[in-house]
Structure 1
Amino acid sequence: MKKGKSTGAKALVKTLGKNGAEIIFGYPGGANLPIYGALKHSSIRHVQARHEQGAAHMADGYARVSGKPGLCMATSGPGATNLVTGIATAYMDSSPVIAITGQVPRSMIGNDAFQEVDITGISIPITKHDYLVQSAGEIAPTVEEAFYLADSGRKGPVLIDIPKDVQNEEFPFDSEKRRNLEGYRPTVKGHPGQIKRAAALLKEAKKPVIIAGGGVVLSSGFEPLRTLVDNSRIPVVYSLMGKSALDNDHPLNLGLFGYHGRKVANAAVSEADLILAVGTRFGDRSTGPLNSFARNAQIIHIDVDPAEIGKNVPAYLPIVGDISDILPRLCELVDRDGQDRDRWLRHLGEIQAAANERSGEKDN
């Protein structure tokens, strides 16, 4: 056991570093100054934003590019509330962000103190979880838990609110202390029977299409998706969040579908007899009126969050799990000797050619 005297702020910074934190985006204020003092003696780089909202968006961007949780920090009251839009964006797009806010001292909470805001109450609808830390000894296990929650299952933001007196509180810091999350075990591995059924449906389909959503990008499922597309010769459309799921110049990439999508992509979805939806929530910008969406298609819906499956569009075959686990296993069952796609692909090519001719473009 590694124990030594520490303050809550120092314990916070040490635990952030232990969990791989390299950079934190923030804006200082009275209620988080002890944390800034501790950062001064740390290898963690601080980037000061002009505004707390910018710090939250930068943390979100860092998370999307690096694949690791992004960190942002603000003071209490208006500093904390300025993070809200960035946190909400991360929540909607399943981006792992950890927001750390200063809070008024514990003795002042609930007394309408200067720059006191119930940020944990405000953030409940836009975070996976939030914490109001009540003692310095809770800081390290809370941070460990926040990293795990933000970056597992369906990723998303977590907020940690730390009163200023807790940041300054001295205590015997145990750097090895852990918190075991027995109640949170998200399903990662897809059911083998469901995956076999999906493979059989893909082989039988005459007009299949794959919808690639942001989940492909978040799970780094690029290679297995490309392999599946090459082996099955099934065309792909993508949602806005799934734009980089497949090479833009891949011959089977039909492009963005939905309200602002390409004609050929929307036609493929409309005429499909089978849709393999991978990591997409079927948002209204993609589907349009639900009563007219893909009327003739059976839908296989793969998502790590079971709450998303069937929420907007009924799923004929649901598969809960991480795309990085499911797609490689699906690739093994779908080989190049499946259904002949020539007629379907030729039809889609004619739609694209007609659209190009009308717009006067050689390619779209």
Structure 2
Amino acid sequence: MEGAKAIIESIEKHGTDRVFGHPGGAVLPLYEALRASGLVHVLTRTEQGAAHAASGYARMSGKPGVCIVTSGPGATNIITGIATAQADSVPLLVITGQVQRSRIGTDAFQEADITGASEPFTKHTYLVQDADELPRIMKEAFHIASTGRPGPVLIDIPVDIQKAEVKDSCDPQIHIRGYKPVFHGNRKQIKKAISAIEKSERPLVCAGGGILCSGARTPLNLFLQKTGIPVVHTLMGNSAIDGGLANSMGMIGSHGHLRAKQALRESDLLIIIGARISDRATAGGQIFESHKTIVHIDIDPAEVGKNIETQIPIVGDAGDVVMYLLKNMDPDRSWNWEPCRTPSEEPVPSKTRADKLDPAVLLHSVSKKADPDAIFTADVGLNQIWAARHIEMSGKRRFLTSGGLGTMGYGLPSAIGAKMAAPGRQVFAVMGDGGIQMSLGELGTLAESGEKVVILLLNNQYLGMVRELQDNAYGKECRHGVRFEKGPDFVKIAEAYGLRSAHACDMESFEKILHLSLAGKDSWLIDCKIDSKINSVRRF
């Protein structure tokens, strides 16, 4: 069997029904094998878009997303997408073409040391030197990407390896020295946690994105309902808990809810599950470590206690640990405390400008009309914070964004991938006018796919988050390099790709367009004219 065919067969064996890619000379044999296979190929307009689309697909399907790109610039272009997946623990299998083995190291046309360049951003990399190693490497790569803390694995495959014969394509056994992820949390440590929880008066759960990675959303919500323990979440954990729970306090961090921050201050025990508690989540860190016991549960031992001092560390799968807590805690004990000094939260404004939209009002309306299992992707910037704060993640809704690396341009291609993984669910892509200009070509990918995504373009003609940071750091008179003086007509661009599109500058027009977009089968881009003075969070 030819090496390229062995690669494609391995992808099919692992249950993935499509690959995202952009071809080139160094992957021609792979694309020929792909053409003859049953896999769907999604031609993205950029290699970075392939990684982001594969990320959306992986996060909604529970399977590793697969990308194929060519050597040289094709491989280097995908690095940002790989780093984005690594930061958010998304399983990807990235296959890059490489020049033939005899030319490696000669500065051949479109040669790049992609294994070296991508090493900091991957769980593991391979440079294939022997075609007979392909079955083992492919199986190991899928295993590494999807076990332990999920993440991207890159396989660099010279073009002559793709053409070479694989003598034995049998199913190899996996034995990776030094790679033995811990799944079951240490029972002694969990019992310590149970004892500490039952002794505490004001315990608090902090849910992170690891809840979603491990499929622990259902057991965690059962645990919260049974115990009544209040819960906060990180940005990445936005849909890890049912936002309709009475004991849900909201999002923590730099742009979090005041009620969540107050709950952190008043708690005497904090149970962190599947969150690394980075600088953006701590917003200073003092309220995490002052006078409280901290239980930190994570499958990655490197993250437990890394950023804050932890009294009870537990390494293990979030779902496994939560189920053990659920079964072994005192069934008659419950906690239903609330923060006693909750500052006033940002209300949804009752009045807005006649010629501009308020993102809080707009997204609140979308939230009320969207399906209970709708999927929302958010780009990076003000749109990300507005979406996280104003769209309720009740029911089975999911929220996908680039939380770790903060990669602009993520929202649109990830929405396409998410829709392909969950074709029966509504998908919304919340974008800013800065982020969408980094992935405009993926409108073509969306149009070709035939899938339906509603793009909510929150257009304030600024790099809004950077503008806000400049205002806070240097004053409004020192804004520089953040305004789009010559923004394009996004409606015309969308129409040029054959998509339906319209401008909205007030709630009456927006509601009509939203109704049309939800009623039909076509993708829509709604260019929403946003008041440029509105910041990420408004305090009253």
Is TM-score (shorter-chain normalized) higher than 0.5?
yes
**Structure 1 residue runs of 4+, over 4 Å off?**
356-361
State the 1:300 CA deviation. 0.1
Which range moves more in the overlay, 103-112 or 227-236?
Answer: 227-236
Note the 1:1-364 alignment, pairs <5 A.
6-291=1-286, 293-338=288-333, 341-342=335-336, 344-345=337-338, 347-348=339-340, 351=342, 354-355=344-345
1:243-301 Cα offsets, whole Å, 9 max, x none, are 11111111111111111000000111122110000000001111022345341221000
Residue by residue, what CA displacement relative to the aligned partner does 1:201-247 show, whole Å, maximum 9, x if unpaired?
Answer: 11111111100000001111112111211222111100011111111
Show structure 2 runs of 5+ residues with no match. 351-359, 365-389, 391-540
Residue segments in structure 1 that go unaligned for 5+ positions in a row? 1-5
Q: What SS is found at the alignment partner of 1:174?
A: coil
Distance 1:299 1:172, change over 3 A: same
Q: How far is the alpha carbon of 1:359 from its aligned partner?
A: 8.1
Q: Structure 1 CA distance, aligned partners of 2:316 and 2:242?
A: 24
Conserved? CA contact 1:134–1:166, under 8 Å: yes
Cα distance, 1:76–1:357 mapped onto 2, change above 3 Å: closer
The verdict on how the C-alpha distance between 1:358 and 1:230 changes in structure 2, with shifts beyond 3 A counting, is same
| Pair 357,94 (structure 1): closer, same or farther in 2 beyond 3 Å | closer
Between the aligned partners of 1:270 and 1:358, the Cα distance in structure 2 is: 25
% identical aligned pairs: 46
Residues 6 and 166, structure 2, Cα contact 8 Å, conserved in 1: no
Q: Partners of 2:37 and 2:198 in 1: how far apart?
A: 55
**2:264·2:287 contact (CA, 8 Å) conserved in 1?**
no
Deviations 1:115-158 (A, max 9, x none): 10000001110000000000211111100000000010111100
- TM (norm. structure 1) is 0.93
Distance in 1 separating the partners of 2:67 and 2:176? 24
Give me the whole-angstrom Cα distance separating, in 2, the residues matched to 1:245 and 1:223.
Answer: 9
Kindly provide the amino acid, as one letter, of the partner of residue 238 in structure 1: H
Contact 2:57–2:65 (CA under 8 A) maintained in structure 1? yes
CA distance in 1, matches of 2:3, 2:346: 62
Q: Hey, what's the Cα distance between the residues in 1 that align with 2:238 and 2:47?
A: 28
In structure 1, C-alpha distance between the alignment counterparts of 2:321 and 2:348, rounded to whole Å: 40
Q: Which amino acid aligns with 1:351?
A: T
> Is the 8 Å Cα contact of residues 103 and 163 (structure 1) preserved in structure 2?
yes
Residues 204, 38 of structure 1: alpha-carbon distance in 2 compared, 3 angstrom cutoff: same
Q: Amino acid of the residue matched to residue 20 of structure 2?
A: F
Counterpart of 1:3 in structure 2 is none
Displacement of 1:110 in angstroms is 0.5
Q: Secondary structure at the match of 2:345?
A: helix
Cα deviation for residue 357 of structure 1 reads 7.8
How far does residue 172 in structure 1 lie from its aligned partner after superposition? Answer: 2.0
**Higher relative contact order at CA 8 Å, sep ≥6: structure 1 or structure 2?**
1
Quick one: which amino acid aligns to residue 254 of structure 2? Y
Q: Secondary structure at the match of 2:179?
A: coil
Aligned partner of 1:95: which letter?
Answer: V
Asked whether the equivalents of residues 289 and 309 of structure 2 are also in contact (C-alpha less than 8 Å), the reply is no
Change in Cα spacing, 1:356 to 1:100, as seen in structure 2 (3 Å) is closer
1:54/1:86 contact within 8 Å kept: yes
- How much does 1:182 deviate? 4.0
Distance in 2 of aligned mates of 1:10 and 1:356:
56
CA distance in structure 2 between the aligned counterparts of 1:114 and 1:324, rounded to whole angstroms = 48
Q: Encode CA deviations 1:335-357: one digit per residue, 9 max, x unaligned.
A: 44225x35x32x44x616x4368
Q: CA deviation at 1:324?
A: 1.4
Q: Take 1:284 and 1:270, find their aligned partners in 2: how far apart are those partners? A: 17
- 1:141 is paired with a residue whose SS is helix
Task: Give how far 1:175 is off.
Answer: 2.7
In structure 2, the CA distance between the partners of 1:193 and 1:178, relative to structure 1 (3 Å rule), is: closer
Tell me the distance in 2 between the aligned counterparts of 1:39 and 1:330. Answer: 46
* Shift in CA distance, 358/296, structure 1 to aligned 2, threshold 3 Å: farther
Does the 8 Å CA contact 2:289/2:308 hold for their aligned counterparts? no
8 Å contact kept, 2:257–2:345: no
Give the aligned length.
353
1-side partners of 2:240 and 2:231: how far apart? 10
- The Cα RMSD (Å) is 1.9
**Cα separation, 1, equivalents of 2:141 and 2:247:** 40
Deviation at 1:180, TM superposition (A): 2.2
